Amino acid sequence: MNNIRRLSDEDFKEYTRLSFEAYPAMYSQMSEEQIDGWIKRMQEAQSEKGDIQYYGYYRDNRLLGAMRTHIFHINVHGVEMLAGGVGNVCVDLTHKKEHIAKELMEYYHGLYRELGAPIVLLWPFRHDFYMKMGYGYGRKYNKYMYRPVDLPRGSKEGVAFMGKGDVDALLECFNRYASVTHGMVYKKRRFFERFLQRYKIVGYRSGDRVEGFMGFNFKKLDPDHPLLQNIEIEYMVYENSTALSRLLAFLQSQLDQVERVVFMTFDDDLHYVSADPRNGVPHIFYINQESNVQGVGIMYRILNKELFFTKLTQHSFNDESLRVRFNVSDSFVPENDGCITVHFVDGKPKIADGYDVEVSLNIEYLSSLLMGVIDFKKLWTYDLAQVSDEEYIDRLDRLFHVSKKPETIEEF
């Protein structure tokens, strides 16, 4: 008999085995002591019944698959929404292709619909696999590699390393940024307590407020050369141009110690801050030299389209007035399948009857569209969305266009 339920304490050792087999490269360096510590932390999180929970797929009381779920609060177009996250989905290698992952995901979707989450997120191991479950692409992520000497010089006043006494100030800075940035997930204090253990953190303080910070580590470039390293920045948040310029000045001053500063960011225009926009890799295509590399990472899924629009009743979709009937195909969450008619009045959405134009598309493309990852005209051009009257294409494009695509800085 098959069933899905929360893991009990005695199941976590088996859960780690499933995790190691599912993600061998990710967990290959863990010692027995680290594994024991990981199990203890998971058991504590499970007993607290907080934002992180673990669920298992059992057959005849044997654990054959598992997942970790998260409760988030995300900024969607300036509106704070409850959101779900799922990670570390794993299946016993001897029981793959038995729809265990599919059943875990179905359970996860049902769980978060009951909790009232209009949207869920995940980091995919394969995008095509999760797109079949209704997940749409998120914004592309960039990796830039610049020489410190090419970064702008300037004042470093207010720049200092952050420590345990700065946890609250870092949290406040991050959540202020999240409150004004579409796509950002709000953090809790415990994140920054662990953040300090994983990264070197340099921040910019104005008065008694931290207004920008970055989390980085040094990465050795050659195992036989002790003096060659890069700085790799995985987190960088700044509330204003002064904070950014002070942090860049700090990085510029490291020119005697590091070869390159590696930025990982959603910023598509960061090459403007470097005197040389090239990233040091000799790749060229049609006389264009490589400035950065991009990757597709996080995916979004609208889990309840009616609730999603209801939450956004005070958000204006570019002041456009248009009545749209969405014919949405969602084969993975049947409750979310079907039509919904939305009246946009001066941009503000309201579920109602009667429409000017019909739009037909799959839930994965609706998710990317409503999150502002892609414009409507692009979806239509790629034949991923259909309209009943092509005279409305430009208006639909204006309706859903965003000036700034979503940023979701959240690892799980």
Specify the higher pLDDT residue, 228 or 390.
390
Over the stretch 114-130, which tens digit does the pLDDT of each residue have?
999 999 999 999 999 99
- 278 and 191 inside one domain: yes
Is residue 70 situated within a structural domain?
yes
Over the stretch 75-121, which tens digit does the pLDDT of each residue have?
999 999 999 999 999 999 999 999 999 999 999 999 999 999 999 99
Task: Report whether pLDDT(29) > 80.
Answer: no
Q: Last residue of a domain, which of 238, 273, 294?
A: 294
- 95 and 63 inside one domain: yes
- 310 and 279 inside one domain: no
- 150 and 191 inside one domain: yes
Is residue 127 situated within a structural domain?
no
Specify the higher pLDDT residue, 217 or 411.
217
Is residue 234 situated within a structural domain?
yes
Q: Last residue of a domain, which of 260, 275, 294?
A: 294
Of 22-26, 128-132, 179-183, 290-294, the one with minimum mean pLDDT is 22-26
- 60 and 29 inside one domain: yes
Pairing of strands 322-329, 357-362: parallel
| Count: domains in the chain | 3
Mean pLDDT within 6-22:
94
Q: What's residue 201's pLDDT?
A: 98
Task: Report whether pLDDT(411) > 90.
Answer: no
Q: Last residue of a domain, which of 117, 152, 180?
A: 117
Q: What's residue 152's pLDDT?
A: 97
- 159 and 75 inside one domain: no
Is residue 97 situated within a structural domain?
yes
Over the stretch 178-206, which tens digit does the pLDDT of each residue have?
999 999 999 999 999 999 999 999 999 99
Is residue 170 situated within a structural domain?
yes
Task: Report whether pLDDT(28) > 80.
Answer: no
Task: Report whether pLDDT(371) > 80.
Answer: yes
Is residue 261 situated within a structural domain?
yes
**Quick one: which of 79, 139, 121 has its CA closest to 349?**
79
Question: Tokens standing for 100?
Answer: 């265990």
- 147 and 244 inside one domain: yes
Q: What's residue 24's pLDDT?
A: 87
Q: What is the CATH number of the domain that holds 367?
A: 3.30.1050.10
- 207 and 64 inside one domain: no
Q: What is the CATH number of the domain that holds 30?
A: 3.40.630.30
- 334 and 368 inside one domain: yes
- CA–CA separation, 79 vs 97, rounded Å? 39
Task: Report whether pLDDT(283) > 80.
Answer: yes
Q: What's residue 30's pLDDT?
A: 81
pLDDT band of 141, cuts 50, 70, 90: very high
pLDDT band of 226, cuts 50, 70, 90: confident
Mean pLDDT within 232-249:
97
Is residue 52 situated within a structural domain?
yes
Mean pLDDT within 235-258:
96
Is residue 252 situated within a structural domain?
yes
Per the CB < 8 A criterion, the answer to whether 104 and 89 are in contact is yes
- CA–CA separation, 268 vs 127, rounded Å? 22
Mean residue pLDDT across the chain = 96
Domain that holds residue 161: 142-294
Task: Report whether pLDDT(27) > 90.
Answer: no
Whole-angstrom CA distances from 189 to 85, 175, 204, 218 are: 19, 11, 19, 25
- 285 and 338 inside one domain: no
Q: What's residue 225's pLDDT?
A: 85
Question: Tokens standing for 305?
Answer: 């389209």
- 70 and 179 inside one domain: no
Q: Quick one: what percent of the chain has pLDDT higher than 90?
A: 90
Mean pLDDT within 310-328:
98
- 284 and 340 inside one domain: no
Over the stretch 53-72, which tens digit does the pLDDT of each residue have?
999 999 999 999 999 999 99
Task: Report whether pLDDT(148) > 90.
Answer: yes
Specify the higher pLDDT residue, 142 or 220.
142
Q: What's residue 223's pLDDT?
A: 85
